[in-house]
Amino acid sequence: MSSSRCKSTQSTQSTQSTQSTQSTHRPAATFTSCKSLCAVKIMKRTFLTVGSGLKERSIAIISCLILLVVILTCLYLRILMNISPVDYLLAATEGSPRQSITDDRLNFGARPQVQTRTLWEAPIIWEGTFDADLYDRTHIRNQSSVALTVFAVGRYLDAYLKTFLTSAEKHFMSGLRVTYYVFTDLPDRMPVVELAPRRSLKVIQVAKHSRWQDISMMRMDAISKVIDAEIRHHFTYVFCFDVDQEFTGRFGSEALGDSVAQLHAWYYNRPQSAFTYDRNPESEAFMDAGDYYYHAAIFGGVWEKVKDLADHCFLKIMEDKLNNVEALWHDESHLNKYFWLHKPSRLLSPEYCWDPHIQDKRDINVTRLMWAEKHYDSLRTG
């Protein structure tokens, strides 16, 4: 806009200077007897023309300066609006990254009966240890957005998907922008689910593997591909879920972190010797020691970390296939190996994924997500 303005100013000036040249020549040629009078007139006119030229140039310069001041003021105001006083305060007092700002305020002593921090200082999120409003405010201000992936292949679609999605609409990351990525071989049978504002759903058609083990394992490949093709361009976080579950309480922004693992409800309070790691040295998932037993029904984090996890697990699954071995608990065994090699930065307590069949509920103050009934015989294929 400013360059076109300059162009029109230049052309106006050149027209004026041509006109003024013509008008200064004419009177001198016509009246020779009144030479002195004319000379005075000519001088006067020339002086006036030069004077008005100067005046116009000054006006143009002043206008440009005013425009510049307006533009600079606008830019300054925009910068001021982006950095709110709260951000100044947080940056000055607590430094970056932002995620750790709110974690500093976790109350690790609130649940003395359970472990609330790992040996590598990652928080384990239990009810009572966090301020839900503080996490929500921070993530809403940071405009955090979440992609949720879920697979409903074969008979799992009719059996579980509607309950999973409608309950997620009530409890999963309320207040944040969320898109559900549903992978299915039966897109025509998708249930109708009413979505809240700023929430959307995408259906991605996948082939149905003949063995249920492959349906489960090959999720890693599909997750990696959708992160690459879409999620990384639009979302901060990705959470990957089994479909055979129902949200029953807040599953909120306190669960978001760089790399998030879920403690398995059946093993969180068991000794390591009871963990069902893959103990076969032939498998890439082999482990003779570990930290915890994680549940593959939930994992998440920033998209970069989830992509790294999915790529790693898929590669190891394929290496096992080449060697004609299969890990004991399929993708879950590889996931456990990955989190042993690459420690998660955040752990979710079993309150985030609870099996109602477990009798001992003394540590469970709230159930946020519950395992649905399993009907392996009638639902699984292969």
> Least Å distance between CB 254 and Mn ion?
23
- The answer to the question of whether 355 is labelled as a binding residue is yes
User: In Å, how far are 5, 237, 308, 345 from 259, measured between CA atoms?
Assistant: 53, 10, 10, 5
Minimum CB separation of residue 117 from ligand UDP in Å reads 28
Binding positions for ligand UDP, rule: CB under 6 A: 151-154, 156, 212, 215-216, 242-244, 297, 374, 380-381
Is residue 131 a known part of a binding site? no
Give least dist CB 176 to ligand UDP, A.
23
CB of 190 to ligand UDP, least distance (A): 13
154 binds, among ligand UDP, Mn ion, none (CB under 5 to 8 A by kind): ligand UDP
Q: Would you put residue 175 in left (φ > 0), alpha (ψ -120 to 50) or beta?
A: left
Annotated binding residue 50: no
Amino acid at 289: A
CB 257 within 8 A of CB 345: yes
Considering CB distances under 5 to 8 angstroms, the limit depending on partner class, which of ligand UDP, Mn ion, none binds residue 380?
A: ligand UDP
Contact 161, 243 (CB under 8 A): yes
Q: Is 293 annotated as a binding residue?
A: no
Which residues are the active-site residues? 332
158: DSSP letter? I
**What is the distance, to the nearest Å, from the Cα of residue 42 to the centroid of all Cα atoms in its chain?**
74
In whole angstroms, how large is the CA radius of gyration of the chain?
34
- Residue owning tokens 């109350």: 107
Task: Give the contact letters, 234-273, x = binds to Mn ion (CB under 5 A), - = no.
Answer: --------x-x-----------------------------
User: Does the annotation flag 244 for ligand binding?
Assistant: yes
Q: Which residue is nearest to ligand UDP (CB)?
A: 242
d(CA 263, CA 298): 9
Cβ distance 367 to 127 under 8 Å? no
- Closest by CA position to 292, among listed 319, 315, 314, 269: 269
**x/- binding map, residues 188-227, to Mn ion, per CB under 5 A?**
----------------------------------------
For 36, the enclosing helix (H) or strand (E) is: helix 35-82
Q: What are phi and psi of 37, to 5 degrees?
A: -60, -45
Structure-block tokens of residue 361: 């509920």
Q: How many residues bind Mn ion (CB under 5 A)?
A: 2
Q: How far is the CB of 372 from ligand UDP (least distance, A)?
A: 9
Does 151 belong to an annotated binding site? yes
Residues in binding site for Mn(2+) = 242, 244
Which residues contribute to the site for Mn ion (CB under 5 A)?
242, 244
- Residue positions forming the annotated binding site for UDP-N-acetyl-alpha-D-galactosamine: 151-153, 156, 242-244
Q: Which residues are annotated as a binding site?
A: 151-153, 156, 242-244, 264, 276, 332, 355
